[in-house]
Amino acid sequence: MDERVDVSVVISTYNRCALLPAALAGALSQRAADITYEVLVVDNNSTDATPRTVESFMSRAPRLRYLFEPRQGVSHGRNTGISQAKGAIIAFTDDDVVVSPDWVAQIKRALDEHPEVDFVGGKVLPRWPAKPPAWLTREHWSPLAITDFGDSPFYVNSGRPLCLVCASLAFRREVFEEVGLFSPDFLRCQDHELQVRLWQAKRQGMYVPDIAATANVQAERMTKAYHRRWYVTHGKFCAQMRLRSITDLSDGERIVSELPNLVTLFGTPISLCREVIRECLHWSSAALRSNEARAFFHENRVRDLLAYIGASYRQHAASRKHSHLGEVRAFTKALWRRKSRVARDRNLRSRKKITWA
């Protein structure tokens, strides 16, 4: 294919030949008008009939290409797709997702109309295999990789760091040249980690609800056991990417590049301790009111936070320069300095108010 390519669609797949045809049919039947696009399927070392499944489409879909990546992991698969993509825009979806008929067109339109953004993503709505349990409300959608932030577009950046999921996500090519590829160090949260790097680099994306897709929700993901495991794993990976260490939790989860005044104990921001206590109180309150959905939500928040704290402690223990007692001393001094600074700033603001009055 020697013609110019506007959008390259990358699908990394592993042993899902039963689901892949629906994803391919959706990606290959786009109403793209004069937009040229290609679809790259990256076989991430599948042992099922994935190669034959893709081959069955290739005879009638010249824009489809098959790639093989033997290194296991979706980051490796997506990075292989990036390396072979010809488009100025590289879009991602998954092998269990069906994108809307105008998905490519909406991605191209959004990035053309908004040169100030580097990536765009949209809704990923669920296709339930059965009626979901009563507790599985929208606030429990994160472990299902489905997303609906409403019907109005908005920026996602350091001031509003909401993660757009890779089931329906597209980047300008130069993003990868400047901030790097998906990190193979993360078995989960790869899209989140990449977006954190972008926010730290003062870049931003946009949530565009018209960039829509639907995703199969596997039956095992509709169990509380799965959600509990997911939050524990999520907390560990957030610690690995130091997400809360570069996040000002007192300012609405604002991502910043440096927090020189952040007070930590054994590598963990002290604000997390307050957050754990707060979530435990919410959990108890919801349980006493027999609100199963809210109680389970706060239970999982506690699991996420404790997993983060535990992983942070282990990382810090491997590299710390002080003893436990020295760590506590350093923490106490930092906390005292912070309180003194806050009191000084408060007094200064009070004096300014009196002066203006």
Cβ atoms of 276 and 226 closer than 8 Å: no
Q: What pLDDT sits at residue 246?
A: 41
Find where tokens 């919410």 sit. Answer: 282
Is the pLDDT at 212 greater than 80, yes or no? yes
Tens digit of pLDDT for each residue in 222-232?
A: 999 999 999 99
Q: Given 3.90.1150.10, 3.40.50.2300, 3.90.550.10, 2.60.40.420, which CATH number is that of 7-218?
A: 3.90.550.10
Domain residue ranges of the chain, discontinuous segments joined by +: 7-218, 238-320
φ, ψ (nearest 5 deg) of residue 213: -155, 165
- Angle (CA) 166 224 95, round 5°: 25
Q: How far apart are CA 39 and CA 6, in angstroms?
A: 11
Q: What pLDDT sits at residue 158?
A: 87
Is the pLDDT at 345 greater than 70, yes or no? no
